[in-house]
Chains A and B, each alone.
Chain A
Amino acid sequence: MKTIKKFFIDNEHVLGWAMSGPALIAILAIVLVPMIQSIGQSFQNLDLARPALNAFIGLENYANLLKDSRYTSSLVSTFRFSVISVIFELILGVSIAVVLNKKFVGRGFVRGLMILPWAMPSIVNAAMWKWIYNANFGALNALLSQLGIIEQYQIWLSDPFWATVLVILANVWKETPFTVLMVLSALQTIPEEVKEAARVDGSSAWNTFIKITIPLIAPTLMIVSILQFLWGFQTFELITVVTGGGPFSTTELVAIRIYQNTFRSLRFGYGSAMAYLTALILVIPLVIYARSTYKRMVNY
């Protein structure tokens, strides 16, 4: 026993490997292996419902994807959904976080309340919004009608524009608390002296916020916006429950197309290609964005 202990003390790098080994194995087994396997699948016609047709087809799946109008339009819809969601989540998230960073009675309670939408299971959130938007009995129609904004109940989800706006609204409602939490923690790391110095120098509150607070929380904002953008591409339950992808596929997001092709139509090859092409399309702008933001932060 003592010998083993001595061996590990003398060979720290072995100890390091031994301790991180189980985690490495888990990562290899459940992340890396399936990833590599699905890259291979994306070059095959892997159709579980018609196994006789399975064959290696090279880049054919990728070529077909570029001609698949349902896929390309879902990609555009998802991009629009994610970008608009991120913009609103950042604006609202920063605003709310700034307020919650101030001292006031019941701040702890309000902070706890804030997190509720984010903590709520996605499916529950989706079901709730579905009822809010219901054309005949929904709260949205009742509210707008009582405020005198609409004369008669509207079928919001049958109009492509409003359906898109409303699913974004539901998404923003659910995801904003995450931005609030992250920004709030970033705000708390800003030393009070820095703001105090600005105040002494005659900087207005707005100026201090723009010139000092925002640059100091920029790394957090970058991480949050990247995460929220990526999560937008993973949105599934909300659309499935609220609109089903309709009206006529205008709110159909790419996750639904991938799911439909892979797990309903059982074309695992095509579905894998769809997932990888989407990931590739996402990675390029994200890397450019992250690098440029990082460069600006370093320069600052």
Chain B
Amino acid sequence: MKTKKLLWIISIIIIASFILAACAPAAEEPAAEEPAAEEPAEGETITVLFPKHEADFKNAFDARIREFEAETGITVNLIQGDWESVANRVIPELATGGSAFDVVEFDNGWVAEWCGAGWATSLNDYMEPGYTDDMIPGLVDLFTCPDGEVYGLVWNNDTRFFYYNADYLAEAGFDAPPATWDELIEQSLAAKEQGVVEYGHAPYWIQEWALANELHFYTYVFGGSLVDDQGCITMNTDPKTLAAVEFMIETLESGAYDPAGLTYNQVDAQDVFLKGSTLFNPQGIAGLLTYTEDPTISNVVGQVEIGLVPTTASGSSAALTLPEAYAIPVNSQHKEAAWKFIEYMTSKETNIKLAKEIGILPIWVDLFSEPELVSLYPFWADFQAQLPTARGLSVITWYNDFVDITNAELHKALSGRQTAQEALDNAAAQLSNFNCVP
């Protein structure tokens, strides 16, 4: 009987200890040591999670990472995927205080949320003073939280540009890209009528994350706003935002844009442009030119040029910048090694190599006038001309809810099931709980 009791007690203790261990919140794991006391050890392994760059056909990032390993002796366990799958892993991991990753993707759309929640490590603890002085100021500011500390360094200076097929445009009888959005519709319809292309543009307006990027782009182009600096919703009261959404609907109704765009994501839309079915790609990624020159995926080799984003009747124009940064989760157990990785991957030397290999835009100001790069990419001058109008996404802690709700209503409007005003009103009503929450 005694033995039986003893066995029961031992069993209960074992089960309880397992349960307690399983329930222990990861957030309570020991905080990282002070940077000064920590040195990255030879043979240390860090786990890095960030999306595969759209233009990285040559595995240029992977090659740089292997160089980093050889140089530092730190092993990198690299996990890559498309942006959505990476986002699906990063957010829950950080929100639950996990320590599985040492360097993670830090998207511009997450900045407000991460700053408020304290999920990332301040990089100021690791950077030399003045380290970011020569970087593009907007990129540094974007990943600086209200406490003045920098929490992310940009690995993908993803600013969007206006691409057009110059050969097709000439074939349709136009010697210059559209200066205004009205001209864009006019040229699209003319080229379509002459059988040069099927549509002016195939937008990526499937009901997913990037549709909110598009809403921002057209809103900025028309000079409108979605939320103000205090996080108060302005989208349903700003006539310029209404004009932007009405214009998006008009592009489909007029036949200038491909209605199949309602089912396309960014890759699908880009593919249509590369196959030569469309004239324009108004919000193409910087790496798109690399694609256009690759005959295995492009039917438009040597035909694509870059212009300025057309203006509205009032003369306003804009470009969207969607930079992605590296960040160190607050519970990473290898912060010093993680910083070494970020430092290496965002250095001028690595920027130059990546720019040469796959054409990504540098984050260092002086590299835009680097003779070798300028001769390789003469169109960077056009990029430079567009950069002053570049703006980021709305900075709000409830950006995920904004995307979820606004996309559903916008998609309904684009599908012709409600008016632009109804879409904006419905979205604002559903987001009213967040009104004026920064």
A70–B408 touching, CB < 8 Å? yes
A248 contacts which chain B residues (CB < 8 A)? Answer: 207, 408-409, 411-412, 415, 417
Residue in contact with A247 in the complex, picked from B96, B202, B207, CB distance below 8 Å:
B207
Residue in contact with B260 in the complex, picked from A24, A135, A243, A246, CB distance below 8 Å:
A135
Write the nearest CB–CB distance from A73 to chain B, whole angstroms: 10
Residue in contact with B96 in the complex, picked from A21, A48, A136, A156, CB distance below 8 Å:
A48
Interface residues of A in 13-69 (CB under 8 A from B): 14, 17, 21, 24-25, 28-30, 33, 37, 48-51
**Complex-state Cα separation, A48 to B96, whole angstroms:** 8
Pull 16 A–B residue pairs with CB atoms less than 8 Å apart, ordered by A.
A21-B14, A33-B22, A48-B96, A136-B198, A136-B272, A240-B84, A243-B206, A247-B415, A248-B207, A249-B207, A249-B408, A260-B404, A263-B88, A263-B91, A263-B95, A264-B400
| A155: Cβ under 8 A from any B Cβ | yes
A136 contacts which chain B residues (CB < 8 A)? Answer: 198, 202, 258, 260, 272, 277
B87 contacts which chain A residues (CB < 8 A)? Answer: 264
A49–B117 touching, CB < 8 Å? yes
Apart from A14-B7, A30-B22, A50-B397, list 16 A-B contacts with CB within 8 A. A14-B4, A17-B7, A21-B11, A21-B14, A28-B15, A28-B18, A33-B23, A133-B263, A136-B202, A156-B263, A240-B84, A244-B265, A245-B207, A247-B262, A263-B91, A263-B92
**Complex-state Cα separation, A50 to B412, whole angstroms:** 30
Residues of B within 8 A of A (CB): 3-4, 7, 11, 14-15, 18-19, 21-23, 84, 87-88, 91-92, 95-96, 113, 116-117, 198, 202, 206-208, 258-260, 262-263, 265, 268, 271-272, 275, 277, 397-398, 400-401, 404, 408-409, 411-412, 415, 417
B198 contacts which chain A residues (CB < 8 A)? Answer: 136
**Which of A30, A33, A156, A244: most chain B CB closer than 10 A?**
A244
| A90: Cβ under 8 A from any B Cβ | no
A37–B23 touching, CB < 8 Å? yes
B404–A155 touching, CB < 8 Å? no
Interface residues of A in 99-124 (CB under 8 A from B): none
Which label, helix, strand, loop or mixed, suits the secondary structure of the B interface?
Answer: helix
A249 contacts which chain B residues (CB < 8 A)? Answer: 207, 408, 411-412
CB within 8 Å for A51 and B117 given contacts A29-B19, A244-B207, A249-B408 = yes
| A7: Cβ under 8 A from any B Cβ | yes
CB within 8 Å for A7 and B18 given contacts A49-B116, A246-B411 = no
**Complex-state Cα separation, A37 to B22, whole angstroms:** 12
Closest to A26 in B: B18
B22 contacts which chain A residues (CB < 8 A)? Answer: 29-30, 33
Interface residues of A in 144-163 (CB under 8 A from B): 155-158
| A220: Cβ under 8 A from any B Cβ | no
| A266: Cβ under 8 A from any B Cβ | yes
Closest to A17 in B: B11
**Binary contact readout A1-13 vs B (1 if CB under 8 angstroms, 0 otherwise):** 0000001000100
CB within 8 Å for A134 and B268 given contacts A155-B260, A248-B412, A248-B415 = yes
**Which of A48, A70, A246: most chain B CB closer than 10 A?**
A246
B207 contacts which chain A residues (CB < 8 A)? Answer: 243-249
B19 contacts which chain A residues (CB < 8 A)? Answer: 28-29, 33
Closest to A159 in B: B415
